Structure 1
Amino acid sequence: MKTGFIGTGSMGSILIEAFIQSGALQPEEITASNRNPSKPEKLAERYPGLRAVLTNREVAEACRLLFVCVKPSEFKRVLPEIAPYLDPNHLVVSITSPVLIRHLEDQLPCKVAKIIPSITNYVLSGAALCIYSDRLQPEDKLLLDRLAGCISRPIEVEESFTRVTSDISSCGPAFMAFLLQRFVDAAVEETGIPREEATRLASEMLLGTGMLLTAGGFTPDELQKRVAVPGGITAEGLRLMDREVKDLFNQLIRITHAKYREDVDKVEAAFPNKKT
């Protein structure tokens, strides 16, 4: 299937590489553009057959399925560039959470959807959050589910929960990596263990924990109870963490939601509702 990518920055390039590595797309099926032409050109060099073009119009004209992988502020420029070259049979997928389905429907004459990926998709793991417009037919949803399923576990979510699901799925890897880094830093500072060794151990621990919580069937609460013997070392550590962490994650979610609302307001200002 001819598939276009507008924007080949961090997440756009991750998606392209993951789709190719998984076999979901062949390089010759992909057309990509970016404001910086060198970025898609480098992808074309790495994956012979991938077509790097200079304009977003060329992507729209060449492909029926388009992924728009740009920052929220870029949509004001990108959508008018491609809208004249789209018809009702095109399917445009945004990976940007603050740009809502209704924004896309107001600006584009075609089918629209949102798929919010995670960096974990680079290793063909983790979730992809799927939000579908009413314009989509069952076969369109099946197409996107199959494509996303090659690099992730597609999970359909309500758009009203976009931010919190993104906090967990897309921002979560960075949040968990931060906590893991602090764990490693403390181990090195307190004991002198080599950083490389501590990092390797912590990374393997996190991988195994994820498997216990998925394939192993444990809930987070059950896992804690299985590891923490009453009166033991782990139990002491958990008591400390419960006391010190307190409402850290509540504050985290409040902060991410505040930034999300700010970003949505900026998109609203850029794209006033055509129906009003």
Structure 2
Amino acid sequence: MNWGIIGTGNMGKVLLHSLTQSQAVEEKNLYLYNRTLMKAYELLNQYPNVHVERSLTSMANKCDVLLLCAKPKEILEIAKKLQPNIRKDQLIISITSSISTDHLDQILPCKTARMIPSITNQSLTGATLLSFGQRTNAIDQQMIKQTCKLFSEPVEVKDETVRAASDLVSCGPAFLSYVLEDMIQSVEKETLLKREDAEKFIETMVIGFGRLLEERHFSLQTLREKVMVKGGITGVGMKALEKEIHNSFNQVFINTHEKFATEQEMVEALIHEAKMNFSG
């Protein structure tokens, strides 16, 4: 089975690495296309046995599964260009929450799915969020789940919770990186600790923190309770955090959901326009 990645930006590269490093897909069975062809050709230095195609038509003709790794508006444009060359037995997958399988089903005659990756997949860990179109059968769904299981924990999500899940799984690493970077900047400003030492301490702490959770030594709550000795220094610091950070993520999720709603309105309008043009 041949897989194609259309769009070799950040998440396209993550999926390329995850699929090949986990041996979910052999390099010889992977095809790449990018609007700026040189960016795709540059990846041959790291993945010498993948194929770079010069057109979407070629990708449609050679691939059984196509991953659309682009922004919502671009994904719709790509889907419309692919449509004349797509067979009913092919599978096309969107990687963005704003493009649902229903959206793809309205444009394409084939099987569809949505697979939202996380940058953590690059280390063959973390979650992958999955949704399946109406034309996919149990065998198709099992194939996608088994493929994702080689580099992540696949989780099926519904349309009504996909944005919230994506905020945690896909955006979460960026949000946590910001918080940790703020810790580093603050300790550098308020103490004599050098930045390079602070970065090293934070990195080793986060790795150890992840292992404690992975090995089920603690939950988030019991870990916090274990570290916070009554009347100790951690508790004093925690009071400052509770004052400054408590409920601050509410606005984060309000913002992401507002952006999500705006993107979905745009997608619906574009699909409606495409239908009107087709019927005209």
- Quote the Cα distance in structure 2 between the aligned partners of 1:263 and 1:243: 34
Contact 1:184 1:195 in 2 (8 A): yes
Aligned residue pairs: how many? Answer: 276
Offset at 1:217?
A: 4.8
Contact 1:28 1:48 in 2 (8 A): no
- Quote the Cα distance in structure 2 between the aligned partners of 1:114 and 1:150: 17
Partner of 1:123: 123
Taking the TM superposition and a 5 Å limit, the aligned residue runs for 1:159-178 are 159-178=159-178
What is the TM-score of this pair, normalised by structure 1?
0.96
CA deviation vs aligned residue, 1:4-63 (integer Å, no higher than 9, x gap): 111111110111022111211111101111110011111123212211011111111101
Offset at 1:230?
A: 1.2
Sequence identity of aligned pairs in percent? 34
- Quote the Cα distance in structure 2 between the aligned partners of 1:160 and 1:214: 28
SS of residue in 2 equivalent to 1:272: helix
Offset at 1:184?
A: 0.8
Partner of 1:22: 22
Partner of 1:238: 238
Contact 2:121 2:127 in 1 (8 A): yes
**Is the alpha carbon distance of 1:6 and 1:179 closer, same or farther for their aligned partners in structure 2, counting shifts above 3 Å?**
same
SS of residue in 1 equivalent to 2:115: strand
Partner of 1:136: 136
Taking the TM superposition and a 5 Å limit, the aligned residue runs for 1:210-229 are 210-229=210-229
Contact 1:27 1:49 in 2 (8 A): yes
SS of residue in 2 equivalent to 1:59: helix
Which one is further off, 21-30 or 248-257? 21-30
Offset at 1:213?
A: 2.3
CA deviation vs aligned residue, 1:77-136 (integer Å, no higher than 9, x gap): 201111112122111111011111111010011110001001111111111111112321
Which one is further off, 53-62 or 38-47? 38-47
Contact 1:31 1:53 in 2 (8 A): yes
Which one is further off, 83-92 or 264-273? 264-273
Displacement over 6 Å in runs of 4+: none
Does the alignment pair 1:192 with 2:198?
Answer: no
Does the alignment pair 1:97 with 2:97?
Answer: yes
Partner of 1:84: 84
Offset at 1:71?
A: 0.8
What is the Cα-based RMSD across aligned positions, in Å? Answer: 1.6
Q: Which amino acid aligns with 1:81?
A: K
SS of residue in 2 equivalent to 1:224: helix
SS of residue in 1 equivalent to 2:170: helix
Contact 2:130 2:156 in 1 (8 A): yes
SS of residue in 2 equivalent to 1:87: coil
Q: Which amino acid aligns with 1:173?
A: P
